[in-house]
């Protein structure tokens, strides 16, 4: 049986789903990771694994030499942090995939901003800071409010809304003080300061083959944790007009071409204002936050399956895309930091019509904190609605029923 090699994974759920799906497609999945314990649910899977230093390319290539190349169908990851590693491994094996340059352009938000600027694609005004000492040199160029973020992080880590120079300076200092990211990889130590765009937030789920992108759909997004930006709710498909849909679609297609993205799923984040579509970022991977599950429930399109087939050099086939229902996911978050004293309402939620999935990853007695990034979310529920209005009512009902009390 041919094998699909996973180099690490994301931690929100779709990574484990991808491992299961690999077996369903007739392939043998192997997860290569530094620490398998960070992947909830992996121990319950009948899946092979190898524990090595996944931050060392030579170690990965040496590990793969134990498997005959003819027995490897493809190499894949669902994690932002290992997209560049996968690109390098694919290049060394002469496998299909996006170039390292393309992936690096998407991963480094500073390089990405400059690339969009070259192609005159609408985006926030921005500044890039490479040293703390140089911040004062551009002090008078910063407009407020603004958003400050590391150029190479993921999951809204260290992303914050700032209203004055003191806040910008403090967060920039914090970012420069962290030489390593959440996965222990050395960061590039650059900070992006960009104009805050006040508008409706959407993500755009695309699938590209040989440089030809196809829009699978657009997701409406809501965030919490202000002044941080933690995704709290996703709704698919987004309730927008065909005109706005077309303009967002065209903007993202142009951005994908600008970065020379040629293969597989991508997840772009944009904002829509009276001035049109602003491109915030492109993630050269499947969407996280269980969005692929929302897409599958609504349209029948299994993006995880399509991506797995893509890495095996199988061209995707999409029939006419139709959305049958509205799907929404609500993430549970703590409204204060402390220890969980009780959790109520779970049985009530499970009795609600069209609750498709429910997952609570915390228990009474655990310490939690107010959300600053995606890893602070406590669980989720996926709900179906025949109409957008019905979906909103059900999502609100769920939110009010589950009560996580904190001391």
Q: Which of 317, 295, 106 is nearest to 219 (CA)?
A: 295
Q: Which tokens belong to 312?
A: 């095996």
pLDDT of the residue at 14: 84
pLDDT of the residue at 352: 87
Q: Are residues 181 and 258 in the same domain?
A: no
385 within 8 A of 326, measured Cβ to Cβ: yes
For residues 303-320, average pLDDT? 94
In eight-state DSSP terms, residue 236 is E
Structural domain harbouring 234 = 199-324
For residues 316-325, average pLDDT? 92
The answer as to whether 251 is a domain residue is yes
R_g over Cα of the chain: 21
pLDDT of the residue at 349: 93
Q: What is the pLDDT of residues 72-111, one digit of tens each?
A: 999 999 999 999 999 999 999 999 999 999 999 999 999 9
Q: Are residues 296 and 220 in the same domain?
A: yes
Q: Are residues 317 and 338 in the same domain?
A: no
Helix (H, G, I), strand (E, B) or coil at 101: helix
For residues 137-154, average pLDDT? 96
pLDDT of the residue at 247: 99
Asked whether the predicted pLDDT for residue 12 surpasses 80, the reply is: no
Asked whether the predicted pLDDT for residue 13 surpasses 90, the reply is: no
Q: Are residues 237 and 261 in the same domain?
A: yes
pLDDT of the residue at 194: 98
Q: Are residues 29 and 18 in the same domain?
A: yes
pLDDT of the residue at 353: 81
Q: Which of 33, 75, 27 is nearest to 51 (CA)?
A: 33
Residues 6+ apart with CB under 8 A from 389: none
Q: What is the CATH number of the domain that holds 186?
A: 3.30.1490.20
pLDDT of the residue at 255: 99
The answer as to whether 169 is a domain residue is yes
Torsion of CA 370, 372, 378, 383, to 10 degrees: 110
Q: Are residues 203 and 315 in the same domain?
A: yes
pLDDT of the residue at 161: 98
pLDDT of the residue at 5: 98
Q: What is the pLDDT of residues 193-210, one digit of tens each?
A: 999 999 999 999 999 999
Asked whether the predicted pLDDT for residue 229 surpasses 80, the reply is: yes
pLDDT of the residue at 249: 99
The answer as to whether 220 is a domain residue is yes
For residues 375-398, average pLDDT? 95
pLDDT of the residue at 43: 87
Q: Are residues 181 and 278 in the same domain?
A: no
- Per DSSP, which regions of 137-236 are E strands? 146-150, 160-162, 191-195, 200-209, 212-224, 230-236
Asked whether the predicted pLDDT for residue 394 surpasses 80, the reply is: yes
Torsion of CA 69, 72, 73, 77, to 10 degrees: -120
The answer as to whether 302 is a domain residue is yes
pLDDT of the residue at 40: 86
| Sign of the C-alpha dihedral computed for residues 317, 320, 324 and 329 taken in this order | positive
The answer as to whether 108 is a domain residue is no
pLDDT of the residue at 323: 96
Mean pLDDT of the chain: 95
Q: Are residues 303 and 405 in the same domain?
A: no
Q: What is the pLDDT of residues 151-196, one digit of tens each?
A: 999 878 899 999 999 999 999 999 999 999 989 899 988 999 999 9
pLDDT of the residue at 141: 97
Give me the DSSP letters along 394-406. HHHHHHHH-EEEE
Q: Are residues 333 and 230 in the same domain?
A: no
Domain boundary among 150, 175, 195: 195
Domain boundary among 47, 80, 95: 95
Residues 6+ apart with CB under 8 A from 103: 83, 84, 87, 284
For residues 118-133, average pLDDT? 97
Number of structural domains in the chain: 4
Q: Are residues 206 and 297 in the same domain?
A: yes
Q: Are residues 352 and 400 in the same domain?
A: yes
For residues 122-148, average pLDDT? 96
């Amino acid at each position: 049986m041919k094998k699909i090699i996973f180099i690490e994974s994301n931690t929100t759920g779709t990574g484990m789903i991808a491992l299961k799906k690999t077996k369903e497609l007739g392939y043998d999945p192997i997860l290569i990771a530094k620490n398998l314990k960070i992947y909830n649910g992996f121990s319950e899977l009948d899946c092979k694994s190898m524990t090595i230093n996944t931050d060392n390319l030579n170690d990965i290539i040496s590990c793969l030499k134990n498997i005959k190349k003819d027995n490897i169908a493809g190499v894949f990851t669902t994690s932002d942090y290992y997209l560049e590693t996968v690109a390098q491994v694919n290049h060394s094996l002469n496998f299909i995939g996006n170039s390292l340059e393309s992936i690096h352009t998407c991963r480094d938000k500073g390089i990405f901003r400059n690339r969009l600027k070259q192609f005159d694609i609408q985006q926030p005004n921005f500044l890039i800071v490479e040293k703390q000492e140089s911040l004062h040199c551009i002090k008078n160029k910063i407009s407020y409010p603004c958003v400050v973020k590391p150029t190479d992080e993921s999951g809204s880590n260290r992303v914050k809304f700032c209203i004055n120079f003191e806040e910008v300076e403090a967060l920039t200092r914090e970012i420069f003080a962290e030489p390593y990211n959440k996965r222990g990889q050395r960061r590039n130590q650059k900070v992006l300061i960009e104009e805050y765009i006040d508008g409706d937030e959407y993500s755009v789920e695309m699938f590209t083959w040989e440089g030809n992108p196809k829009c699978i759909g657009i997701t409406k997004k809501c965030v919490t944790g202000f002044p941080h930006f933690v995704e709290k709710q996703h709704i698919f498909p987004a309730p927008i007009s065909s005109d706005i849909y077309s303009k967002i679609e065209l903007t993202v297609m142009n951005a994908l071409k600008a970065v020379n993205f040629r293969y597989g799923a991508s997840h772009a984040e944009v904002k829509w204002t009276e001035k049109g579509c602003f491109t915030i970022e492109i993630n050269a991977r499947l969407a996280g936050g269980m969005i692929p599950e929302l897409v599958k429930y609504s349209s029948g399109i299994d993006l995880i399956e399509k991506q797995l087939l893509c890495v095996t050099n199988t061209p995707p086939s999409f029939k006419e895309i139709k959305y049958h229902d509205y799907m929404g996911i609500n993430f549970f978050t703590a409204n204060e930091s402390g220890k969980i004293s009780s959790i109520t309402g779970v049985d009530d939620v499970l009795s609600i019509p069209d609750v498709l999935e429910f997952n609570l990853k915390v228990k009474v007695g655990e310490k939690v904190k107010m959300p600053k990034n995606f890893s602070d979310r406590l669980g989720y529920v996926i709900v179906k609605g025949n109409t957008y209005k019905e979906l909103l009512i059900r999502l609100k009902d769920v939110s009010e029923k589950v009560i996580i009390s904190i001391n």
